């Protein structure tokens, strides 16, 4: 059988039982940078790949489709469809399943209607019918995930691990914001450090008009033991915390550094953290430093 070359576009098909986590998996692929489409009719898959190959659809890292029995011809035509697609694209088919009682509980919690539930049927009967109809799809899939005992975060991480050689590394977007409490607390933030206990350069002749970006202000602040100790403790805290946030699947972390006016101490610490420890973490990070009140 002719297969696609290594330079062909990546196509990930997410399928499986309703309630098993298809949408969660598709969202994880979207977060990874794939161009994602839910419930695309089978007749439009070929034209969509044409648009990707021509560049009219920008899918730098690939295309992901969520397909299921909402398209009534899907299960019957899937084995042949897979063969045809494998000639054009680098294809990966992920099939999601779960135990019947787990799926029934999830439908009860979300109050969604099962797509195959008919008048006179019970929910477990509809689930088992779907399982039977999708049996041929499961057999033809490249990977089967049983999500019965998984959280949405665990499923998303499993999808990432499965496609680790195909997807770009996920980044943790870290924003470090300096601010002055006299102008109101920065919002929104995930973690806040208050530096108002440190000696204030505002009261030092020659430093008042400068900011935490100036070397003279930095030298003054870190000439004291409390400032050096505080910086070391924050660095240690972030080295411990942020890799765990990354592993859990967090995409954003917002760190607030506050002092009285938001011009000296908080600016100095934000620069030190943003250009130091946050750039040397063992996980992919993208750091943005914002000085909200430096010009007030």
What pLDDT, in 10s, does the model give residues 163-205?
988 888 888 999 999 999 999 999 999 999 999 999 999 999 9
User: Which two three-digit tokens encode residue 215?
Assistant: 């070397």
pTM (two decimals): 0.80
Three-state secondary structure call for residue 178: strand
Instruction: Report percent pLDDT > 90 for the chain.
Output: 78
Q: Are strands 252-259 and 35-38 parallel, antiparallel or unpaired?
A: unpaired
The whole-angstrom separation of Cα 144 and Cα 174 is 34
| pLDDT the model gives residue 279 | 77
Question: H-helix or E-strand containing 191?
Answer: strand 191-194
Is the per-residue pLDDT at 237 higher than 70?
yes
What pLDDT, in 10s, does the model give residues 249-285?
888 999 999 999 999 999 999 999 998 888 788 888 8
User: Which two three-digit tokens encode residue 63?
Assistant: 């295309």
User: Which two three-digit tokens encode residue 164?
Assistant: 């680790």
Q: What is the mean pLDDT of residues 122-144?
A: 95
Is the per-residue pLDDT at 130 higher than 90?
yes
Count CA atoms within 13 Å of residue 215 on its CB side: 0
| pLDDT the model gives residue 283 | 84
The CATH number of the structural domain formed by 10-162 is: 3.40.50.300
Output the CA–CA distances (angstroms, integers) from residue 291 to 16, 74, 176, 256, in the order listed. 47, 53, 8, 10
Name the residue ranges covered by the structural domains of the chain: 10-162, 172-291
What pLDDT, in 10s, does the model give residues 204-232?
999 999 999 999 999 999 999 999 999 99
What pLDDT, in 10s, does the model give residues 62-97?
999 999 988 888 999 999 999 999 999 999 999 999
103 and 16 in contact (C-beta within 8 Å)? no
The whole-angstrom separation of Cα 209 and Cα 187 is 26
Q: What is the mean pLDDT of residues 41-47?
A: 92
User: Which two three-digit tokens encode residue 286?
Assistant: 């993208």
Q: What are phi and psi of 133, to 5 degrees?
A: -65, -35
**Binning pLDDT at 50, 70 and 90, where does residue 247 land?**
confident
| pLDDT the model gives residue 4 | 67
Q: What are phi and psi of 196, to 5 degrees?
A: -70, -10
């Amino acid at each position: 059988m002719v297969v696609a070359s290594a330079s062909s576009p990546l196509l990930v098909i997410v399928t499986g039982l309703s309630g098993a986590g298809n949408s969660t998996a598709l969202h994880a692929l979207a977060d990874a940078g794939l161009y994602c489409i839910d419930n695309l009719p089978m007749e439009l898959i070929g034209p969509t790949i044409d648009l990707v190959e021509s560049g009219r659809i920008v899918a730098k890292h690939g295309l992901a489709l969520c397909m299921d029995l909402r398209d009534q011809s899907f299960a019957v035509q899937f084995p042949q469809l897979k063969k045809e697609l494998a000639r054009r694209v680098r294809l990966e088919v992920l099939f999601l399943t779960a135990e019947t009682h787990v799926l029934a509980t999830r439908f009860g919690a979300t109050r969604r209607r099962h797509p195959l539930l008919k008048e006179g049927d019970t929910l477990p009967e509809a689930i088992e019918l779907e399982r039977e109809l999708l049996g041929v799809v499961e057999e033809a899939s490249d990977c089967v995930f049983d999500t019965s005992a998984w959280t949405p975060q665990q499923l998303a991480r499993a999808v990432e691990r499965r496609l680790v050689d195909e997807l770009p590394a996920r980044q943790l977007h870290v924003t470090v914001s300096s601010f002055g409490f006299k102008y109101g607390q920065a919002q929104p933030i995930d973690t806040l450090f208050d530096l108002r206990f440190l000696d204030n350069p505002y009261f030092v002749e020659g430093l008042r008009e400068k900011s935490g970006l100036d070397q003279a202000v930095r030298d003054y602040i870190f000439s004291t033991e409390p400032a050096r100790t505080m910086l070391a403790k924050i660095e240690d805290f972030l080295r411990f915390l942020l890799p765990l946030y990354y592993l859990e699947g967090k995409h954003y972390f917002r760190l607030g550094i506050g002092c009285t006016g938001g011009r000296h101490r908080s600016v100095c610490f934000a620069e030190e953290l943003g250009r130091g420890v946050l750039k040397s973490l063992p996980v992919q990070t993208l750091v943005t430093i914002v000085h909200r009140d430096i010009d007030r």
